[in-house]
Amino acid sequence: MEHLHQSFTIKYGYNVFFTSGLFTVENPLLNDFLSAAQSASIKKILFVVDEGVVHTSPDLVNQIKAYFYQNNSAELINDILIVPGGEVVKNDTKYFEQVLRAVNSYGIDRHSFIAAIGGGAVLDMVGYAAAVAHRGVKHIRIPTTVLSQNDSGIGVKNGINYFDKKNFLGTFAPPVAVFNDELFLTTLTDRDWRSGISEAIKVALIKDREFFEWLTYNAVELGQRDLTVMNLLIWRCAKLHLEHIAGADPFESGSSRPLDFGHWSAHKLEYLTNFEIRHGEAVAMGIALDTVYSHLSGRLSAGDCQRVIQLLQQLGFEITHPLLQVDGADSPILLGLQEFREHLGGELTIMLLNEIGKGEEVHEIDTEILKQAGKLLLDMQFAVQK
């Protein structure tokens, strides 16, 4: 049969910059970046900021205005949008539409920029709006949490929730730049500071034993909010995530999701607790569950298993939750497993551990072992709390 064949490649590239005080008037980083962007026309920049960040950094909006008053690499849209943080900004499409309306009113075109400042949820929503407005406006990410600086904020995915389903709408659309500003980290609550560490543990467990050793060695400093140590953690974790995205299947055309280690049960738990349990907290529990499962199913040694649980507990993470227990065929966690299978398109693929630093994908989970793993973790948690 006759046919024409179409074939081309698209090259994507962007930098993840590390800085302190991105909007200090004297800091040339952002201005230089914007100046270097080629455009025959006036470059505009629209900011969308996480409400939570405005609360902890009340001067931020004025700093941004002062920065662009002094540095004229782009025309600042003075109407800086402020949107709620967390899942609410992804649940209600009105925030997505608010960004689109601004794009329309202020004449933001494909050569202009939309910058998002905030946690992962805000970056996801704004990234989606930027990806679909005019078939793609240039998007700058300025993640403010540990979690978004080392994981979600530096990657290529965006999305909003729809039909009560997480990220039902979204695209793969790399940002043009990411700016990780350490000053935002100092404003985090202890809970948010800690939460983001679980993604570092996750990526260490599946890819980098040395990084796991480093995390163990630095656990006390991390708990004491040592900024230098945290910056090193974020750098290395971000590097591992970037390498993974670039190496395998950036836009996830296959079913394999190694970076989702510990995530299948975490997603369900977040949802069941109406997101009162933070993503990073849920991931810590999911890591604990899949680690103990890896041990009980004969993959991971008892010693390695214990070291993982100890690190999680030393950092102050809870290692399990009553909703993660298998207690009959209709337990929420078994439903979560089923949903994850559907999400992947029919075949279950779950990452487990053979040793620290080395993962293995499996396509089946034994309900009885899962039940034992949950129970064991409940006992261990109880022992600590006593």
**CB-based contacts of 369: which residues, under 8 Å, 6+ apart?**
293, 296, 297
Contact call for residue 58 and a copy of itself (CB under 8 A): no
Among 46, 142, 245, 311, contact with a copy of itself (rule: CB under 8 A):
245
Q: Which of residues 248-277 bind a copy of itself (CB under 8 A)?
A: 250-252, 255
- Residues 81-100 touching a copy of itself, rule: CB under 8 A, are 100
110 binds a copy of itself (CB under 8 A): yes
The answer to whether 24 contacts a copy of itself (rule: CB under 8 A) is no
Q: Does 227 bind a copy of itself (CB under 8 A)?
A: no
Q: With binding defined as CB under 8 A, does residue 36 bind a copy of itself?
A: no
What is the DSSP code (8-state) at residue 45?
Answer: E
Asked if 343 interacts with a copy of itself (CB under 8 A), we say: yes
CB atoms within 10 A of CB 3: 5
326 binds a copy of itself (CB under 8 A): no
Contacts 24+ apart (CB under 8 A), 158-165: 158/123, 158/124, 158/125, 158/126, 158/127, 158/128, 158/130, 158/131, 159/90, 159/124, 159/125, 159/127, 159/128, 160/90, 160/91, 160/93, 160/96, 160/124, 160/125, 160/128, 161/87, 161/90, 161/91, 162/93
Identified binder of a copy of itself from the candidate list 84, 174, 280, 374, rule CB under 8 A: 174
Rule CB under 8 A: choose which of 31, 39, 56, 63 binds a copy of itself. 39
HSE toward the beta carbon, residue 332, CA cutoff 13 A: 14
Tell me the site size for a copy of itself, rule CB under 8 A.
68
Residues 6+ apart with CB under 8 A from 132: 171
For residue 143, what are the β-bridge partners?
Answer: 118
Q: Choose between 136 and 303: whose C-beta lies nearer to a copy of itself.
A: 136
Question: Rule CB under 8 A: is residue 16 a binding residue for a copy of itself?
Answer: yes
Q: Which residues of this chain interact with a copy of itself, rule CB under 8 A?
A: 1-19, 29, 39-42, 100-101, 104, 107, 109-112, 128, 131-136, 154, 157, 159, 162-163, 165, 167-172, 174, 235, 238-239, 242, 245-246, 250-252, 255, 342-347
